[in-house]
Amino acid sequence: MTDLVHLSADADTQTIVDTLTRDGALILDNVVDADFLAALRAETDPYMEATSNGADDFAGRQTTRTGGLMMRSEKCRALIGDRRILDPCEKYLEPYCERVQLHLTQIIRIRPGQGAQPIHRDRWAWGKHLAHLEPQFNTIWAITDFTSENGATQVVPGSTQWADDVDIAPEKITQAEMSAGSVLIYSGSVFHSGGENRSQADRIGINITYALGWLRQEENQYLSCPPELAKTLSPELQQLAGYAMGQYALGYYTPPGDPGVHPEVVPPEFALGVESDGATLGSSDDFEKTAKIGAGQN
């Protein structure tokens, strides 16, 4: 069994990317402190407590999954936009896209008695069509301590290039044991799962994941963060939620209304009140970048 690499919270971007590329997962220790976690829980616990257990074995019949965190919690917004995460995220995914986007936000509470989740890859959210590239950069923030007893995430280091139907021996699986305030970073291609909770207390983590800007998001951010609410976000968070062109010609729309009232073609941020000259599918530079990515010229 190969243990996961632990790095300090101030680890540089290239070290994080190199470790993630090699192992498929790593842990940043003690990224946020106890006061931050207490404030976060004050904001999110009411939503978590109102969430029902999962309805199937994969979601977990003794597990709750609470989403919509962008608009529900200021502290979760801080996690979503943390440059210690976004910088390596953008570096890691830049060979495959022009822009990254928020893929999902979810509080995962594994309750006592919950068995281990089936081992899987998160990129399977799009089926098994993306084996030729890496679509995701994922995080699980430890809100409580993660231990082998309470269901710390199971990870198979080094498995990113394995076949989808591989038979994974138990000795290949390790667990992401970490203290509250630490964060597990893992790719969409690494095999992993929620662990078995054999303790008498909940294991709580916040799953925040990012994906290539041209893919469909798992959590529909346009509905979780509709324009009237997204207007209150910072420009960076607006863009992460999807209120920006994914790349050349991806994401524009025609506003409803009478003839001539609005420009005919506008980028998504127009819905938030950002002015547009009404003639944009993106710039010529955007088109050239897209052509290079499509040709593998990264």
Confidence of residue 262 (pLDDT cuts 50, 70, 90): confident
| Structure token digits, residue 286 | 């955007």
Q: What is the pLDDT of residue 17?
A: 98
Reduce the DSSP state of residue 24 to 3 states and report it. coil
The span from the CA of 217 to the CA of 219, in Å, is 5
| Structure token digits, residue 54 | 């999962």
Question: Cβ distance 220 to 148 under 8 Å?
Answer: no
Contacts (Cβ under 8 Å, ≥6 apart) of 46: none
Amino acid 31 reads V
Residue 280, sorted as left (phi over 0), alpha (psi -120 to 50) or beta, turns out to be: beta
The total of other beta-carbon atoms located within 10 Å of residue 89's CB is: 26
pLDDT tens digits for range 175-230: 999 999 999 999 999 999 999 999 999 999 999 999 999 999 999 999 999 999 99
Kindly list the structural domains of the chain, giving each domain's residue range(s) and its CATH number in brackets, ordered by start: 6-212 (2.60.120.620), 245-294 (no CATH)
With a cut of 70, say whether residue 265 has pLDDT above it. yes
Return mean pLDDT, the chain: 94
pLDDT tens digits for range 26-71: 999 999 999 999 999 999 999 999 999 999 999 999 999 999 999 9
Confidence of residue 6 (pLDDT cuts 50, 70, 90): very high
| Structure token digits, residue 239 | 């863009």
pTM for the model stands at: 0.93
The span from the CA of 212 to the CA of 28, in Å, is 23
Q: What is the pLDDT of residue 245?
A: 92
Share of the chain above pLDDT 70, in %: 93
pLDDT tens digits for range 73-128: 999 999 999 999 999 999 999 999 999 999 999 999 999 999 999 999 999 999 99
Q: What is the pLDDT of residue 298?
A: 47
Q: What is the pLDDT of residue 284?
A: 55
In 3D space, the residue among 135, 130, 131, 141 whose CA is nearest the CA of residue 100 turns out to be 135
Q: What is the pLDDT of residue 188?
A: 98
Q: What is the pLDDT of residue 275?
A: 80
pLDDT tens digits for range 276-292: 766 567 665 665 666 56
The span from the CA of 79 to the CA of 140, in Å, is 11
Question: Cβ distance 254 to 264 under 8 Å?
Answer: yes
**Exposed, middle or buried by CB within 10 Å (0-12, 13-18, 19+), for 52?**
exposed
